[in-house]
Amino acid sequence: MLLTTKQLFEKCYGRYAIAAVNVFFMEEIHGLFAAAQQTGSPFIVQTTPFARDYAAAEMLLAMINAAAKIYPDTVFAIHMDHGYEEHIYDAVAKGGYTSVMIDASHDTFDKNIERTKAIVELAHSRGISVEAELGVLAGVEDDLTVDAAHSFYTNPQEVEDFVAATGCDSLAIAVGTSHGAYKFSGGQGLQLHILNEIQKRLPGFPLVLHGGSNVSSEVVERINAAGGKIKTDARGVQDDEIRKAIPLGVCKINIATDMRLVWTMVNREFFRDKPDEFAPTTPGKTFIETYKNFMISKFELFGSTGKA
């Protein structure tokens, strides 16, 4: 069943979080929907502009809609992640999304409000929910790299005015996470006191955590044992940080890097262990199964199992 993110957040606020999973190709979509169906977990399937350029938006949406038929008990929203105006206009014109993110977080506060408000008016007229962002995350997100010096935490003093002025349905915040595999190499971790300040000012309002990957050291070690060179000081968001963030209003947790790492592990091990094989379907099947089990453990951690 296709819902908006607003509908999903009304049910989960303060109790559990919805995994928002970036998809780029068919095997991920199978693994994700299979995990959700098997565990009865609601989820958000999301595409970045980069994914739309890579696979074509029509291809991704057709695969997602096919998956909804193949896995008919699933409950989910289709979200555009990190959209700019051009992508959102295109998505609204062609249809298919129940939720969009307008990422004007790199603009000034006033400009961010102006751009977000315009998208809210357009999207709400079509029944589409809007995620906005305040604060700047470090890291690598598609083709945009933000170094630590240019990132900044969300200012809790600004959140009430921003939400009131824009009418957005959820707010992505910068509270120490970053995009990509090298999140807390400075070791500072999730800034729960800032999150707490934000939640006090926006009680009941859904917050979004970008950069939610865990960057499992077991997966990184297996990749490197199979010829990879992922830096081993990489550290993602820890399970206990996630558990503390959910009661503080985090309703949506974005995951993309962890999928890339699982994909890299499965394929590197395949090429190392089966040098005489050349069928994409062999590592493809292993990936679907491995990714399904990985997502089942995420749903369990986020508390969404059985909530569909």
Cβ atoms 31, 287 nearer than 8 A: yes
Q: Tell whether residue 41 is a contact of ligand G3H (CB under 6 A).
A: no
**133 labelled ligand-binding:** yes
Q: Which of 81, 131, 169, 241 binds ligand G3H (CB under 6 A)?
A: 81
Catalytic hit among 53, 73, 81, 147: 81
Q: Which of the listed partners (ligand 13P, ligand G3H, Na ion, none) does 269 bind, with a CB threshold of 5 to 8 Å by partner kind?
A: none
Minimum CB distance to Zn ion, residue 154 (Å): 14
In whole angstroms, give the CA distance from residue 147 to residue 154: 16
Per CB under 6 A, the segment of 85-93, 144-152, 210-218, 265-273 that binds ligand 13P is 210-218
Q: Tell whether residue 115 is a contact of ligand 13P (CB under 6 A).
A: no
Site for ligand G3H in 136-155 (CB under 6 A): 140-142
In whole angstroms, give the CA distance from residue 141 to residue 157: 27
Q: Tell whether residue 128 is a contact of Na ion (CB under 5 A).
A: no
Q: Amino acid identity, residue 300?
A: E
Torsion of CA 285, 253, 206, 139, to 10 degrees: -130
Q: Which of the listed partners (ligand 13P, ligand G3H, Zn ion, none) does 166 bind, with a CB threshold of 5 to 8 Å by partner kind?
A: none
Active site residue 81: yes
Cβ atoms 158, 232 nearer than 8 A: no
Q: Tell whether residue 213 is a contact of ligand 13P (CB under 6 A).
A: yes
Nearest-5° angle of CA 101, CA 55, CA 289? 90
Site for Zn ion in 196-255 (CB under 5 A): 210
Q: Tell whether residue 81 is a contact of Na ion (CB under 5 A).
A: yes
Whichever of 78 and 256 has its CB closer to ligand G3H, that residue is: 256
Sign of the CA dihedral 169, 241, 80, 133? Answer: positive
Binding-site residues for dihydroxyacetone phosphate, in ranges, read 180, 211-213, 254-257
Site for Zn ion, rule CB under 5 A: 210
Binding-site residues, in ranges, read 82, 103, 133, 179-180, 210-213, 254-257
- What are the catalytic residues? 81
